[in-house]
Structure 1
Amino acid sequence: MQTMIGVIGGSGVYQIDGLEGADWVKVASPWGAPSDEVLTGRLNGLPMAFLPRHGRGHVHAPSDVPYRANIDALKRLGCTDIIAVSAVGSLREDFRPGDFVIVDQYIDRTFARPKSFFGAGCVAHVGFAHPTCPRLSTACAAAARQAGISVHEGATYVAMEGPQFSTLAESRLYRGWGADVIGMTGMPEAKLAREAELCYASIAMVTDYDCWHPGHDAVDVAAVIRTLTANAGNARAVIAALPAHLGPDRAPCPHGCDRALDMALMTAPDKRDPALLARLDAVAGRVLRG
């Protein structure tokens, strides 16, 4: 199998430089329209697909992002590995604005978003103790170091519903829980990638100190945008370095991300809803056809 990198760009990251044969393509999904068309091409020899999470021009709020359609569209295009780039607030003194953080754990505080491809008619439960792919995360960290970026490996991300930023009490609470960064888009994206049997890694770009830090003002959009603008070029540099760390030949994931559905389907075959199975053709086709 050939490696194909899918990049989901967050706030401030709306394009990928240096794509050969770059073309915006429309991908139809049974889960609705994705956030935008998908930019496809080849980067340093590897096929790549780039999807702006909020759409070009930032038209989707965090709660409104069509997460299921986005993951389904990238799977349909043949992506094997998903790199999620997002802006976050820091809950730690040593995670400074401008730093990059490789997330490996989540606390999901969202409540207004569909969180699974499965449900009535085809129930499935995937393992999610380790929500990101260690192999892919290591490659992202190596690419960041190669690009000369300050990067922290391993962090817990609190996913809040938004679109408002945290209250001071909430910010202090999350710090007390041991969380490291806070954002609005990490969930259910990571859960859906696991259900789709895609390796997933999260590159979080720190823009601010949320509102807990006594030496910094409460979060304001102008300050966030200034840091995002500076970070966007760094994010593109990391992505440009990734092909060399992943290589063209895609072996089975040593952590089983690409086999997450092996023991996950609970509904008896004769009780499964044909309409739902049709929608799952890309996400779960490997096990449904088997």
Structure 2
Amino acid sequence: FLHPQLQKAAGEIMYRLSRKNQIMFCTHAPVMLFNFTTKQIHQVITDRTGSTILNPSTDIDKILDDLGYTANDLLNVSFVFIVEGKQDRNRLPLLLKKYYSEIVDENGHLNRVAIIATNSCTNIKTHANLKYINSLYLKDAFLMIRDSDGKNPQMLKDQLCGYYRAREHEDTGTIPRVTDRNVLILKYYSFENYFLDPKVMAKIGVIKNEQQFYDILYAKYTEYLYKLKSMRNMQERFKIKIDGPEDIKDNLEKIRIYVRGHNLYDIFYGRYKGDKEPDILTKYIEEAPRETFADILDAIDDFVYFNSHSADVKG
């Protein structure tokens, strides 16, 4: 019998081979099944005559039960996202449901995926969750997502990986190794700023047209946005003068990267309260091209579990 971590590695190897080759393998280890879809898994049983046949109705939950997969086996989790805030924990599933439909159950809930909000990627809660991940043999099956806050993403990633390298020496063997692939620093200031593409916003009715977006943002700039530290820092760094809506338009990408997202997001989405917010964000995600969220999706795709459960989404 293979060690659980070797079973997981063997399952990933089998999946990678199956991308370009037709393969068949038999296993009693549930952890080796997690990279494959329900369509690719079949149960072999014996019929009343003792003959070996394929079970005509594949029930993945029953298969896992028959294999001894219980709540104690990874606690029904195959991948863990660690995000900074409760709002990110609510928004990330909307993105996952579109691009990785295979991980969504019939009730619309994420299957075997945990999203943990910790407020900081270096606090005790994150540290404790990493220890827990390690004890469950998930090892590298996690992604820490943090805001860029207008700073250099690579610098922040190096700092975070360095922090956990230091923790490894202090707590040998109790936390998994945190590598570059386990850390995503968002391209934009925060998750909110991914939802500020005026073309998409106009299509889903958040604004009447693109020009209205620039007019509103300029009006808010003259009212109070010019006072924000993040706005001032951006203007000083890039020598940007904002004297009208056209200047907002010319510098929108920089604004999304360097200006605090909460202040911008609420201008347009503040009126969507309760169930209205996930509904409008779902419409945005459906309408937006993949490149809008490319840095997030590319980081997620780097993990076999998601690469093998992605939906066929165009755009």
**Structure 1 or 2: larger strand share?**
1
Q: Which has the higher contact order (CA 8 A, sep 6+)?
A: 1
TM-score higher than 0.5: no
TM-score range (shorter-chain normalised) is 0.3 to 0.5
The structure number with the bigger radius of gyration is: 2
TM-score (norm 1): 0.33
TM-score (norm 2): 0.31
